[in-house]
Structure 1
Amino acid sequence: MANILIAGGGIGGLAAALGIAGRGHRVTVLERRDSFTELGAGIQLGPNAFHALDLLGVGSPVRARAVYIDELRFMDGTTGERVASMPLTGDYRTRFGNPYAVVQRSDLYEPLLESCRAHPLIELRGNSQVVSYERGAQGSAEVTAVLATGERLTGAALIGADGIRSAVRRQMVGDGDPRVSGHTIYRSVIPMDQVAEELRWNTVTLWAGPKWHFVHYPIGGGAYLNLAATRDDDAQEVVVGRPAEREHVLNEFPELGETARRLLELGRDWKSWVLCDRDPVDVWTDGRVALLGDAAHPMLQYAAQGACQALEDAVVIAQLLDDRSEDDIVQRLEKYSATRRERTAEIQLVAREMGRRLYHPAGPDAVERNAMLSGLSTEDMHDKVAWLHGERLA
């Protein structure tokens, strides 16, 4: 039985802890904040996420909190035209073996947290920010996590699940600050009873316009509507959760058509973020240290796969640490990296392209995009997402 250290108590860190402890190892999760909480609004979960959650043993409680979406709907945000819709019931669920759903971030996080708290092999430690690590001497079976307090904790492996600004990645990869995308996203969550009956769609709806797009979908068991409006404004400053005046948000989307405008005007208490990601890298391991989730492959939201890929990471790394032995941990972590790098790198790059080619084109490029999407059959659309949504880990 090895003692595995995990830096970061977010979705990826808790999922990894649950998976690894399920293989018989002791796990210590080191979280920088005082308490284990997860901020944020809505998350989209594809069938691949539910498959991973089932393997981690928390599929049922997440399903109980989820809203099962009927379709992904792509709209022209200026004309109001419905360009394309991808059904997510019937043939979709049969083909991919699980539903497509949306949840509040806490509806995914809390079942993971509750399961970790109940597991006898998992210790959750707050106020324990990992700032660096120390490899043991050559041939050593240990690695040391150095905390901001100066405390040192030793284990058989360290998993860096400490997010897009990961201290573990900074030491391992040394690739500086995250890449600023130049896109600002404004988010608001409103009670569903404030939404007109005819606009309470059980869909993830995206309105695309010139250098902007607007997404909305129900969360909280249908009690709330999640609003997220993104502007390609060449922003260069990193912004995280800054309050935004309602009038400012409305003024950022003057071309928005009538129906989408009605929904945007419902938003209150807006907050803004400037979206960031990183370039894919080949180095995810350093001896007994490995990266996971946003520390390994931070991606823009446009493919709706960030949380899904962290869950896949957690399943794979747990499967490779598949017994209580401490032997060959370095090789097992290297195999994890080799197994996951290509898929996540492709998703990182596809997410960037989706923002440029699908969501934000203008003029003739938008006309061409609409023609391409409207020409796809339901089967065509399911084929296009099969590589993302159809991943089923053994």
Structure 2
Amino acid sequence: MAHTVIAGGGIGGLATALSLAGHGHRVTVLERSDTFAEIGAGIQLGPNAFHALDRLGVGERVRERAVFIDELRFMDGTSGEKVAAMELTGAYRERFGNPYAVVHRGDLYQPLLAACQELDGVELVADAAVSEYEQDATGVTVLTVDGRTARGAALIGADGIRSTVRAAMLGDGEPRVSGHTIYRSVIPIEKVPQELRWNTVTLWAGPKWHFVHYIIGGGEYLNLAVTRDDGATVPVAGPEAERGHVLAQFPGIGATARRLLELGEGWREWVLCDRDPVRTWTDGRVALLGDAAHPMLQYAAQGACQALEDAVVLGDLLDGMGEDDVVQRLEKFNAVRHERAGRAQLIARLMGSELYHPAGERAEERNAMLSGLSQRELQDKVSWLHGDRDFTDSGVAGVR
């Protein structure tokens, strides 16, 4: 039984542990925090995520707390007019084989954690920040900040956008600051007027800003996320933001969107970051996965989905792994996944600049383009992401 070490106990790390354990590996997960927990608010899960979760054996557990959405709705944030909506029931579910849903991040994380805790072959080690790794012909030795070591046939770096494993492997510096600031709030559904409790993911697009909201927590909360293209240059991760400050960032917002925005309380602030796509995620017996390999902006709602896909593909490729073919199999993982995940990174950036934030004539052209698309055409736009079941489609003809 091969032993694999995973750096990072987030969604990607735990999904990878489940995937590898399901293929006969013994797994040690090293988490830098002093507990295994997931912070954050709402998260969107496309059909591709549910395909992956089903493969990992936790699909039904996640579905129990998910809110299954009727449509993705795109609104003009200043006029308040409905521009387009992609229906997510009937034909969509039939085509892609699974629903589109939203959950609280914890409602995705906890089923992954519980499933790992149920397996004898998965060891979860908290308060174990990885500092570096060393490898030789037979394995990888992982060193932690406090001087402990773990050794395995392979090391998977699933330790996030500021990955220590990536820094040691690629040395490519700090993440790219997007210049976008996002404010997030989660409020009890009882505080939301009945007429505003829409079973949709709704996006209001305005000049250099957009506002997304949807119900999470099995229907108990409304998740609010409003983003401003403000040229921010310094990363910020989660401090409190004054309600008055948040409301002042969006003076031209339409009446209905304003009503929803004013419901927010306990706002927190982040400056969004990502990285440029890279072709190489491996170094011998070491591979990157999830945000460590391909961190992306939230705008395509695919960050967690792509990490789940990584986990499934990696488990399949490392099935029956022997000590002598680790390097080759990790290189194969890199080869079949980097184009798809890299395109998702670039699409997310493009959606922010070209779809969500235009003003004036460009916004009018966008509205005309979106409103002219049929349901089938809207589905076609996302089919390479939502509909792929082997998780290797880059969405570009001739590229795999």
- Equivalent position of 1:125 in the other structure: 125
Letter in 1 for 2:153: A
- Whether the 8 Å contact between 1:77 and 1:257 is mirrored in structure 2 is yes
1:328 partner SS = helix
Percent identical residues: 70
Cα displacement string for residues 228-248 of structure 1 (whole angstroms, at most 9, x for unaligned residues): 000000000110001100000
**What is the correspondence of 1:1-394 to structure 2 with a 5 Å cutoff?**
1-136=1-136, 140-323=137-320, 325-393=322-390
Off by >6 Å, runs of 4+ in structure 1: none
Letter in 2 for 1:112: L
Q: Distance in 2 between matches of 1:123 and 1:326?
A: 21
Cα displacement string for residues 196-252 of structure 1 (whole angstroms, at most 9, x for unaligned residues): 111100000000000000000000011100000000000001100011000000000
Q: Distance in 2 between matches of 1:93 and 1:359?
A: 25
The offset of 1:391, in angstroms, is: 1.2
The offset of 1:326, in angstroms, is: 3.1
- Equivalent position of 2:397 in the other structure: none
Cα displacement string for residues 14-45 of structure 1 (whole angstroms, at most 9, x for unaligned residues): 00000001111100000001110000000000
Letter in 2 for 1:340: R
The offset of 1:66, in angstroms, is: 0.3
Cα displacement string for residues 339-378 of structure 1 (whole angstroms, at most 9, x for unaligned residues): 1000001010010000000000000000000000000000
Letter in 1 for 2:373: L
- Whether the 8 Å contact between 1:23 and 1:324 is mirrored in structure 2 is no
- Whether the 8 Å contact between 1:185 and 1:275 is mirrored in structure 2 is yes
The offset of 1:393, in angstroms, is: 2.2
The offset of 1:327, in angstroms, is: 3.4
Q: Distance in 1 between matches of 2:191 and 2:357?
A: 29
Cα displacement string for residues 119-142 of structure 1 (whole angstroms, at most 9, x for unaligned residues): 010000001111111121xxx111
2:323 partner SS = coil
Q: Distance in 1 between matches of 2:138 and 2:63?
A: 40
Q: Distance in 2 between matches of 1:67 and 1:56?
A: 20
The offset of 1:154, in angstroms, is: 1.1
RMSD: 0.7
The offset of 1:325, in angstroms, is: 3.2
Q: Distance in 2 between matches of 1:31 and 1:152?
A: 13
Matched pairs, number:
391
The offset of 1:324, in angstroms, is: 5.5
Q: Distance in 2 between matches of 1:267 and 1:274?
A: 19
Q: Distance in 1 between matches of 2:185 and 2:206?
A: 19
Q: Distance in 1 between matches of 2:223 and 2:206?
A: 19
The offset of 1:150, in angstroms, is: 1.6
2:324 partner SS = coil
2:211 partner SS = strand
User: Is 324-333 or 236-245 further displaced after alignment?
Assistant: 324-333
The unaligned stretches of length 5 or more in structure 2 are 392-400
Q: Distance in 2 between matches of 1:86 and 1:141?
A: 51
Cα displacement string for residues 142-197 of structure 1 (whole angstroms, at most 9, x for unaligned residues): 11111001222111000000000000000111110000000000000001111111
Q: Distance in 2 between matches of 1:306 and 1:202?
A: 22
- Whether the 8 Å contact between 1:52 and 1:393 is mirrored in structure 2 is no
Q: Distance in 1 between matches of 2:307 and 2:323?
A: 24
Cα displacement string for residues 281-335 of structure 1 (whole angstroms, at most 9, x for unaligned residues): 1110000000000000000000000000000000000001112533301100000
The unaligned stretches of length 5 or more in structure 1 are none
- Equivalent position of 2:394 in the other structure: none
The TM-score with structure 1 as length reference comes to 0.98
1:110 partner SS = helix
